[in-house]
């Protein structure tokens, strides 16, 4: 894992991660957890060393994944498919591309119309990304919303948002943070 991490640090794009490494990490972590649980002496040096090794593994893996995430996001923004991506990273890339394409379409329309009012996030609204196509709805304010394409991002009144969330057609996006 340390070699894979070092290679990821050096690499401009995603470094190749051998499939067997994923299995090896899981197996070693499982072995360490088992050794910790079954240790004859609780609090022994050996048990603390194993616990520390697990913590180091978590930190290295977290850093490795954060670096890879940044590269996947960068590739999505540039519109290029990342080489050496793992399956879950390719799925993330595709979801990001869909959302970014939808956002860019919205921005192009706003530029064409010279009207950004439809693009703003309003407090009290739920910000959603649609995971599937969803038909148009009339919200609690009486306005027609949609239809929504897969990857569309919308700011909707709470009750309308709950309908899409409960149907499993959308995911909530946390509201933007205020600058401190």
Q: Is residue 112 part of a domain?
A: no
Regarding whether 74 and 10 lie in a shared domain, the answer is yes
* 77 and 10 fall within a common domain: yes
Residue 6 lies in a domain: yes
Q: Considering the domain boundaries, does residue 114 fall inside one?
A: no
In a domain, 113, yes or no: no
The confidence score (pLDDT) of residue 57 equals 97
User: Are 75 and 127 within one domain?
Assistant: no
Instruction: Tell whether 83 and 47 lie within a shared domain.
Output: yes
Instruction: Give the model's pLDDT for residue 83.
Output: 96
Whether residues 68 and 36 fall in one domain? yes
Residue 119: per-residue pLDDT: 60
Q: Which of 39-43, 90-94, 133-137, 147-151 is predicted with the least confidence, judged by mean pLDDT?
A: 39-43
Does residue 3 or residue 19 have the better pLDDT? 3
27 within some domain: yes
Q: How many domains does the chain have?
A: 2
Q: Which position has the higher pLDDT, 179 or 151? A: 151
Contact 157, 126 (CB under 8 A): yes
Is pLDDT larger for residue 75 or for residue 180? Answer: 75
Domain boundary among 35, 67, 99: 99
Place of tokens 């240790």: 39
Reply yes or no on whether the pLDDT at 176 is more than 60. no
pLDDT of res. 178:
47
What residues make up the domain containing 50? 2-99
* Three-state helix/strand/coil letters over the chain: CHHHHHHHHHCCCCCCCCHHHHHHHHHHHHHHHHHHHCCCCCCCHHHHHHHHHHHHHHHHHHHHHHHHHHHHHHHHHHCCCCCCCCHHHHHHHHHHHHHHHHHHHHHHHHHHHCCCHHHCCCCCCEEEEECCCECCEECCCCCEECCECCCCEEEECHHHHHHHHHCCCEEEECCCCCCC
CATH number, residue 129: 3.40.5.50
- Residues 82 and 131 placed together within one structural domain of the fold: no
Is 81 in the same domain as 138?
Answer: no
Greater pLDDT, 109 or 176: 109
Question: What's the mean pLDDT in 117-123?
Answer: 57
This prediction's pTM = 0.65
pLDDT reported for residue 69: 95
Could you report the per-residue pLDDT of 51-107, keeping only the tens digit for each? Answer: 999 999 999 999 999 999 999 999 999 999 999 999 999 999 988 887 787 777 777
Residue 138 lies in a domain: yes
Other C-beta atoms within 10 Å of 148: how many?
A: 23
pLDDT tens digits, 11-35:
999 999 998 999 999 999 999 999 9
- Domain-embedded: residue 165: yes
Q: Is residue 111 in some structural domain?
A: no
The verdict on 32 and 65 lying in the same domain is yes
């Amino acid at each position: 894992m340390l070699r894979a991490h070092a290679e990821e640090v050096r690499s401009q794009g995603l470094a190749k991660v051998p499939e067997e490494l994923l299995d090896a990490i899981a197996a070693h972590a499982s072995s360490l957890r088992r050794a910790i649980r079954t240790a004859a002496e609780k609090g022994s040096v050996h048990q603390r060393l194993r616990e520390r090794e697990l913590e180091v593994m978590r930190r290295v893996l977290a850093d490795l994944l954060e670096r890879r995430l940044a590269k996947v996001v960068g590739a999505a923004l540039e519109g290029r498919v990342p080489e050496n991506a793992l399956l879950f990273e390719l799925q993330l890339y595709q979801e990001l591309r869909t959302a970014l394409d939808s956002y860019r379409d919205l921005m192009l329309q706003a530029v064409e119309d010279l009207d950004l009012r439809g693009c703003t996030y309003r407090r009290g609204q739920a910000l959603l990304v649609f995971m599937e196509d969803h038909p148009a709805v009339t919200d609690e304010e009486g306005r027609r919303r949609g239809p929504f394409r897969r990857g569309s991002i919308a700011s909707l009144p709470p009750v309308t948002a709950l309908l899409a969330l409960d149907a499993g057609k959308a995911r909530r996006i946390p509201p933007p943070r205020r600058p401190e």
